[in-house]
Structures are given as C-alpha cells and as structure tokens.
C-alpha cells in the first residue's frame, strides 16, 4: 500500500524488516527493487535485483524489474524482448502487459503498444501505468479528450504520481477545466514550491475564472521566484489593461520587453495600451516592433490598422487590415475593420464584400 501511494522510503524500510525475517521470500525481495526504480535510484535497484535473480530468475516480478531497469538504462529493444518473451509465458499478467505496451510505445510501435495496453486495461481498468502510457499515445495522435480521460483515471488511482501532473494540468486547462487544474497545481506547488511556472499556470487558471486578485497574487509569486519571468509581467499587464489601469499595464509590458527584447506579443500589447491613451505615433512604433519580430503577426497588423484609421490614414489602414487577413483569413475583426474603413472611403460595394 505504501508503494502504491508513492511513500517509497517508508515502504523500503518496512520491506527490509520483512526480508530480514524471510530472506528467501522472492515476493518480498522483488518489491524494494521496484521502489528504488520508481525513486530513480538505479544503483540500489540493480543491487536488489541481483539478489532476487539469484533466488528465482524466472519469477515474473523479477523479470518485470529487469524490463524496468533496461528501460531506465535506455536499452529499449532489450527491454521489449524480455517483456515479449515473458508475456508469452504469462499472457494475462497485467503488469507484464502494461510493461510490454510501454516498451513498444517508447520503441515507436504505436499499434502494437495499444494492443497490449488495451488488454491490460480490459483486465484492470485501474492499471495506472497502462492508462498513462495509453494517454501519451493518444496525445501523440492528437486524441486529447481520450488522453484526458485516461489521465484522470490514472490520477484517481495514483494521485501522488507527480509525473502525470503537468500533462493533466495542461489538458484540463485546454478543456477549460480551470478549477480542477488549480487543485492539481496546488499539489505541484506543495511538491516544488520554487517552480515559478506552477504559480504562473495557477494565475492563468484564476484569470480564466475571472478571479483577478488571486491571479495577480499568483503572478507576483512567480516573479518573486523568477524576477526575469517576462511572460508573467506581460500577463500582469493584460490584467491591468483590462482594469483600465493603463499606466500600470504599460509598466508591466515594458518590464517584459526589457527582459525579453524579442517579445512580439508584449510589444503589441504596449501598442494597444498606448492607443487607448491616444498616443498613436508611439503605438504604431510598438506595432512595427512586434511585426519586425514576427512578420506573420496578424493581430499586430490589425491593431496597426486601427491606429492608422484613428489618424485618418485610411489607405494605410486598409493595407494593414488586408495584410492581417492575408496572414489569417478567418480574422473576423480585421474583416470588420476593413469593411468600416472602405465604407468611410465611400466604397460601399467593397465594404460589403470585405
């Protein structure tokens, strides 16, 4: 139970007492090796594995640990061979099916991998290892909904398995499950309180939930850990801009570009804030900078068009809007803005078709 809850050190200590009393119990002896593998302590894992192999090299868990160690040592083909041969002897061993599927996935044999992973999950729908590996395949195949379902099921079984947390958070955010993502992020922060990205992701979730103060606090925590976190400053600027605190927004955006001189999005945001302050020439300079960094930045061209239109430079504005549309044909705002500019020129038929 301790191993399943990722309390590996406690499990190893308890197992050591059991092995002292029953030094030939192969089932007991294989367990510490697996714990060490999960802890990524390969030296002690190999030492324990050798002891188990001397007692019974054909015991299934001994073979599965051999597969795990081969994988850890990046000997994938050898691991797949051992797993395949053992699977022939024990075709319904769930642990083995999952491991063989894992080997085949790493080896790029997607369809074969799915065959064994699916079989493992059919036999035990709580087999976390199989669920996780199948989710990775689904992600690679862009089947994100299926990947999320598998990861959620794995998380229910092994909520302390830290390796799946980032994948799960990213998918939950993509599917707009922000409250659930925050719950996992709190665990990630507790596990690694010095990782600024986790605070930034938490902030993004709060922002999408319209919980602005917690979002700002989380971004500030991210910056306190990493003072050079340009993206966090940019996102703080977005929050202030949405609150119509334009001076604070510009301060944050400018800090972002001071840290990351090729940050096109931040320059575009500077332009938006300056335009709202009627500083049109400075706004145009910011848009030009964004476009010089990213020549395919449709949003910056659209915003440039807006600033030019406000200066009554309709021909130049139309050129900018058309450029935005050529980059992103489905840019609804650019189409709408182009139509208005053409209408202002009295070109009603062209405006209708814009």
Tokens of 153: 């099921």
Cα 85–64–38 angle (5° rounding)? Answer: 150
pTM for the complete prediction? Answer: 0.85
The superfamily in CATH containing domain 304-353 is Tetratricopeptide repeat domain (1.25.40.10)
Q: What value does the mean pLDDT take over residues 127-147? A: 97
Average pLDDT along the chain: 93
Work out the angle at residue 214's Cα, subtended by the Cα atoms of residues 211 and 218, and round it to the nearest 5 degrees.
130
pLDDT one-digit tens code per residue, 196-240: 999 999 999 999 999 999 999 999 999 999 999 999 999 999 999
> Domain spanning 89-175 has what CATH number?
1.25.40.10
By the 10 Å C-beta count (0-12 exposed, 13-18 middle, 19+ buried), 149 is classed as middle
- Segments of the chain assigned to CATH 1.25.40.10: 1-74, 89-175, 304-353
Residue with tokens 């917690």: 214
Give the separation between CA 128 and CA 150, rounded to whole angstroms.
Answer: 9
Per-residue pLDDT tens digits for 222-231: 999 999 999 9
Give the model confidence (pLDDT) of 150-187 as tens digits.
999 999 999 988 999 999 999 999 999 999 999 999 99
Token duo for residue 146: 């299926």
pLDDT tens digits for 14-48?
Answer: 877 777 677 787 887 788 788 888 888 999 888 88
* Model pLDDT, residue 349: 64
pLDDT digits (tens, 9 = 90+) for 8-20: 677 777 877 777 6
Judged by average pLDDT, the poorest of 65-69, 90-94, 343-347 is 343-347
Q: Where are the alpha helices (DSSP H) in 158-297?
A: 165-174, 178-191, 196-208, 212-225, 230-242, 246-259, 264-276, 280-293
User: Are the C-beta atoms of residues 33 and 45 closer than 8 Å to each other?
Assistant: yes
Give the architecture (CATH level 2) of 1-74. Alpha Horseshoe (1.25)
Q: How far apart are CA 174 and CA 169, in angstroms?
A: 9
- What is the distance between the alpha carbons of residues 158 and 22, in angstroms, rounded to a whole number? 29
| b/e burial code for range 210-230 (CB count within 10 A of at least 16 → b) | ebeeebbebbebbbebbeebb
What letter would DSSP give residue 90?
S
Sign of CA dihedral 174, 180, 182, 184: negative
């Amino acid at each position: 139970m301790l191993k399943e809850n990722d309390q590996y050190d406690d499990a190893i200590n308890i197992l050591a007492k059991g092995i002292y009393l029953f030094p030939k119990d192969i089932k007991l002896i294989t367990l510490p090796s697996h714990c060490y593998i999960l802890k990524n302590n390969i030296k002690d894992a190999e030492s324990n594995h050798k002891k188990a192999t001397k007692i019974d090299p054909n015991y299934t868990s001994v073979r599965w640990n051999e597969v795990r160690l081969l994988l850890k040592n990046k000997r994938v083909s050898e691991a797949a061979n051992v797993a395949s041969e053992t699977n022939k002897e024990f075709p319904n061993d769930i642990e083995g099916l999952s491991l063989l599927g894992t080997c085949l996935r790493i080896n790029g044999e997607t369809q074969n991998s799915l065959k064994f992973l699916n079989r493992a999950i059919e036999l035990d729908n709580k087999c976390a290892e199989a669920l996780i590996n199948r989710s990775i395949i689904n992600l690679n195949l862009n089947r994100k909904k299926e990947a999320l379902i598998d990861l959620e099921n794995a998380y229910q079984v092994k909520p302390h398995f830290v390796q799946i947390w980032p994948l799960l958070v990213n998918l939950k955010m993509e599917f707009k499950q922000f409250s659930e993502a925050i719950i996992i992020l709190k665990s990630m922060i507790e596990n690694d309180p010095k990782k600024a990205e986790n605070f930034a992701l938490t902030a993004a979730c709060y922002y999408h939930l319209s919980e602005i103060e917690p979002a700002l606090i989380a971004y500030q925590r991210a910056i306190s850990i990493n003072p050079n976190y340009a993206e966090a400053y940019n996102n703080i600027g977005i929050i202030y801009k949405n609150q119509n605190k334009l001076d604070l927004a510009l301060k944050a955006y400018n800090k972002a570009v001071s840290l990351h001189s090729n940050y096109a999005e931040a320059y575009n945001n500077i332009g938006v804030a300056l335009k709202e302050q009627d500083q049109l020439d400075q706004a145009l300079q910011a848009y030009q900078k964004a476009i010089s960094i990213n020549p395919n930045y449709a949003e910056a061209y659209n915003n440039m068009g807006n600033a030019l239109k406000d200066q009554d430079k309709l021909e130049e504005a139309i050129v900018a809007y058309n450029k935005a549309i050529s980059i992103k044909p489905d840019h609804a705002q650019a189409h709408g803005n182009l139509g208005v500019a053409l209408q202002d020129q009295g070109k009603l038929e062209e405006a209708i078709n814009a």
